[in-house]
Amino acid sequence: MNYIGTIGEKEVRVSVRETGVARYAVTIDGQEHLVDAHQVQSSVWSVLYGETSFEVDVQGKDEEFEVLISGDCYKFTLMNEQRRAMIRAGGKGAAGKAMVTSPMPGKVVKLLVKEGQEVKADQGVIVVEAMKMENELKSAVAGKVKEIFVKEGEVVESGAKLLLVE
């Protein structure tokens, strides 16, 4: 299988081949790495790279990964090559920049703006409370509040759309 990894600005080509029980040859930009990898607990892997031992916690949602090794967090995306080709062709993935979403489950305490109101980039637009801490969320872009999807007092999930600025 072939994948495209995106780490910051950098893109790498990754392919995986199974070479035995729990053994894999993983090629990154042409360089082959042989590993012995066992999924030992939920998302935790024991990886022997040569004889060097790593515990690796792979947290991934869709194609976005956050991988923990010894307290260091590696963030990147990893996408099946065909899938990416399809998405590119379809033109998806452009929107969302101006969408304010809730980074955690919580309760909407206060809306700081109204629909139609002009906002600056980095201006606070909504306050969400989780675990007794209030978090003021900001608009990433300057523009006009196009739509507000929630009401004050509403309980929202992590990732819920809160409001759209255009």
Partner 1 sequence: MFRKILIANRGEIAVRVLRACREMGIRTVAVYSEVDRNALHVRYADEAYLIGPPSASESYLVIDKIIDIAKRSGAEAIHPGYGFLAENPRFADRCETEKIRLIGPSAHAMRTMGSKTIARKTVQAAGVPVVPGTVEPIATEEDVFRVAKEIGFPVMLKATAGGGGKGMRLVREEGELRSSLRMAKSEAKSAFSDDSVYIEKYIEKPRHVEIQLLGDRHGNYVHLCERECSIQRRHQKVIEESPSVIVTPEMRAAMGKVAIEAARSVRYEGAGTCEFLVDAKRNYYFLEMNTRLQVEHPVTEMVTGIDIVKEQIRVAAGEKLSIRQEDVRQIGHAIECRVYAEDPDRNFIPCPGLVTSLRTPGGPGVRDDSGVFEGFEIPIYYDPIISKLVAWGKDRTEAIARMKRALTEYVVTGVKTTIPFHIRVMNNRHFIEGNFDTNFIDKVFFKEEEERQLENEDVALITAAIQVFLEERKRAMAQKPAESAGPVSMWKYSTRPGIRKLG
Query: Looking only at residues 97 through 156 of this chain, which bind partner 1 when binding is defined by CB under 8 A?
Result: 103-107, 109-110, 124, 127, 129-136, 155
Look at the alpha carbons of 105, 107, 111, 112 in this order and tell me if their dihedral is positive or negative.
negative
Place of tokens 């042409």: 30
CB of 14: closest distance to partner 1 in angstroms? 5
| Residue 81 phi, psi dihedral angles, 5° rounding | -55, -45
**In the window 81-100, what residues touch partner 1 (CB under 8 A)?**
none
Sole binder of partner 1 in the list 65, 84, 144, 161 (CB under 8 A): 65
Number of residues that bind partner 1 (CB under 8 A): 74
Residues 6+ apart with CB under 8 A from 83: none
Sole binder of partner 1 in the list 73, 85, 86, 142 (CB under 8 A): 73
SS3 87: helix
CB of 111: closest distance to partner 1 in angstroms? 13
CB of 16: closest distance to partner 1 in angstroms? 4
CB of 83: closest distance to partner 1 in angstroms? 10
CB of 15: closest distance to partner 1 in angstroms? 8
Contact 56, 70 (CB under 8 A): no
Q: Tell me how far apart the alpha carbons of residues 148 and 44 are, in angstroms, rounded to a whole number.
A: 39
**In the window 10-49, what residues touch partner 1 (CB under 8 A)?**
12, 14-16, 18, 20-22, 24, 26, 28, 33, 35-49
- Rounded to a whole number of angstroms, the distance between the first and last alpha carbons of the chain is 39
Q: Tell me how far apart the alpha carbons of residues 96 and 102 are, in angstroms, rounded to a whole number.
A: 13
Structure tokens at 11: 């893109």
In the complex with partner 1, the residue whose CB is nearer, 3 or 165, is 3
In the complex with partner 1, the residue whose CB is nearer, 10 or 91, is 10
